[in-house]
Amino acid sequence: MAFKVNLFSMVFACLTLIFLYLTTQLFLEIVFGPGQDRIIVGVFPVLFLAFSEPFWYHALIAEVYSLHSFFTCLIIYHLLQWRVKADIRYLFSAAFFYGLSAGNHATVVFYLPAILLLFLAWQKKARFKNIVISSLIFIIGFSVYLYLPVRSLAEPTIDWGNPETVQGFLYHVTDRQHANTHFDQLSGAPPGTLDEVAIGLSGLGGKALHVLNMLVQDLNQQLTAIIVVGFLFGGILCFKANRPLYFFFFLIVAMNAAFFVGWRKESYFPSHIVACMWTSAFLAWLFQQKGLRPSTALKQGPLVKGKLSVQPNGQTLVILVLVGCVLWQISSNYNKVDRSGNYFAESLLKRMVLSLDNDSIFVAGISWFNVAYHQDVMRLRDDVTFVKAWDFLDVYPPSVLTSRKYPDLKLPTPEKFRFGSREESYMYLLDFFNKNAAQHPVLIEQNISLLQEFPLAEKLAPHNNLLLRYLPQPDLTASDISQGFAEFKQWMEEELSLPGIQHDPTWIRKITFYIPSFAAYFHSAGYYKEERDALRLMKEFLGQGGVAWDFKMVDNYILSNELDRARQQWKGMKQKFPNHYETHLAAGILLSQEGKEKEGLNALNRASDKKQKAFRPYFESAKTRIVLKDFENAKRDLGQARARITSLEELKQVQYICSIERFISGSEICKTDGTL
- Place 305 in a pLDDT band, splitting at 50, 70 and 90: very low
User: What does DSSP assign to residue 191?
Assistant: P
Q: Please give the average per-residue pLDDT across 608-616, as a whole number.
A: 94
Q: In 242-268, which residue ranges form alpha helices assigned H by DSSP? A: 243-259
Q: In 526-596, which residue ranges form alpha helices assigned H by DSSP? A: 528-542, 546-559, 563-576, 581-593
**Contact partners, residue 276, CB within 8 Å, separation at least 6:** 20, 24, 45, 46, 48, 49, 223, 227, 230
Continuous segment of H or E residues that includes residue 284 = helix 269-287
Residue 311: phi and psi, rounded to 5, are -90, 145
**Contact partners, residue 486, CB within 8 Å, separation at least 6:** none
Cα gap 413→38, rounded to integer Å: 68
User: What does DSSP assign to residue 312?
Assistant: P
> pLDDT value at position 671?
61
Query: Does residue 379 come out as left (phi exceeding 0), alpha (psi in the -120 to 50 range) or beta?
Result: left
Top pLDDT among 166 and 268 is at 268
- Place 344 in a pLDDT band, splitting at 50, 70 and 90: low
Cα gap 511→504, rounded to integer Å: 11
Q: What angle do CA 100, 105, 107 make, to 5 degrees?
A: 110
- Pairing mode of beta strands 361-364, 385-388: parallel
pLDDT tens track for 429-438: 999 999 999 8
- Pairing mode of beta strands 295-298, 467-470: unpaired
Cα gap 535→7, rounded to integer Å: 41
Answer for the pair 585, 620: CB distance below 8 angstroms, yes or no: yes
Answer for the pair 33, 74: CB distance below 8 angstroms, yes or no: no
**Three-state SS for 594?**
coil
> pLDDT value at position 475?
61
Q: Please give the average per-residue pLDDT across 160-176, as a whole number.
A: 78
pLDDT at 522 over 90: yes
pLDDT at 331 over 80: yes
- Place 543 in a pLDDT band, splitting at 50, 70 and 90: confident
**Contact partners, residue 120, CB within 8 Å, separation at least 6:** 127
Answer for the pair 230, 78: CB distance below 8 angstroms, yes or no: no
Answer for the pair 618, 638: CB distance below 8 angstroms, yes or no: yes
Q: Please give the average per-residue pLDDT across 263-282, as a whole number.
A: 93
Question: Of the ranges 15-24, 342-351, 388-397, 444-453, which one carries the lowest mean pLDDT score?
Answer: 342-351
pLDDT tens track for 646-674: 888 898 888 888 877 666 666 666 665 54
| Alpha carbon 539 to its chain's center | 24
> pLDDT value at position 494?
86
Top pLDDT among 507 and 108 is at 108
Helix 616-627 × helix 648-660 angle, to 10°: 10
Q: Long-range contact list for 378-384, CB < 8 A, 24+ apart?
A: 378/1, 380/350, 380/353, 380/354, 381/353, 381/354, 381/356, 383/358, 383/359, 384/353, 384/356, 384/359, 384/360
pLDDT at 297 over 50: no
Tell me the pLDDT of the chain averaged across its residues.
Answer: 86
**Three-state SS for 443?**
strand
Look at the chain and count its residues: 676
Q: What percent of the chain has pLDDT over 70?
A: 86
pLDDT tens track for 78-105: 999 999 999 999 999 999 999 999 988 8
Answer for the pair 29, 233: CB distance below 8 angstroms, yes or no: no
pLDDT at 351 over 70: yes
- Place 500 in a pLDDT band, splitting at 50, 70 and 90: low
> pLDDT value at position 194?
47
As to burial, measured by CB atoms within 10 angstroms (0-12 exposed, 13-18 middle, 19+ buried), residue 290 is exposed
Residue 470: phi and psi, rounded to 5, are -75, 130
Q: What percent of the chain has pLDDT over 90?
A: 56
pLDDT at 160 over 60: yes
Cα gap 129→92, rounded to integer Å: 12
Cα gap 292→324, rounded to integer Å: 18
Q: What angle do CA 348, 351, 353 make, to 5 degrees?
A: 115
Q: Please give the average per-residue pLDDT across 163-187, as a whole number.
A: 68
Q: In 304-406, which residue ranges form alpha helices assigned H by DSSP? A: 314-337, 348-354, 368-376
As to burial, measured by CB atoms within 10 angstroms (0-12 exposed, 13-18 middle, 19+ buried), residue 371 is buried
Top pLDDT among 481 and 387 is at 387
- Place 2 in a pLDDT band, splitting at 50, 70 and 90: low
> pLDDT value at position 201?
47
Cα gap 88→73, rounded to integer Å: 18
| Alpha carbon 496 to its chain's center | 24
Domain ranges for the chain: 2-291, 338-533
pLDDT at 634 over 50: yes
Most confident region among 168-172, 182-186, 197-201, 643-647 by mean pLDDT: 643-647
Query: Residue 443 forms beta bridges with which residues?
Result: 362, 469
Question: Of the ranges 166-180, 330-344, 662-676, which one carries the lowest mean pLDDT score?
Answer: 662-676
For the full predicted model, state whether its pTM sits above 0.85. Answer: no
pLDDT at 274 over 90: yes
Helix 616-627 × helix 581-593 angle, to 10°: 20
Answer for the pair 41, 280: CB distance below 8 angstroms, yes or no: yes
Cα gap 281→236, rounded to integer Å: 10
**Contact partners, residue 583, CB within 8 Å, separation at least 6:** 547, 550, 551, 570, 573, 574, 577
> pLDDT value at position 659?
79
Q: Please give the average per-residue pLDDT across 481-509, as a whole number.
A: 81
Q: Please give the average per-residue pLDDT across 130-154, as a whole number.
A: 92
| Alpha carbon 349 to its chain's center | 20
Query: Within 13 Å, how many C-alpha atoms sit on residue 475's CB side?
Result: 16
> pLDDT value at position 294?
58
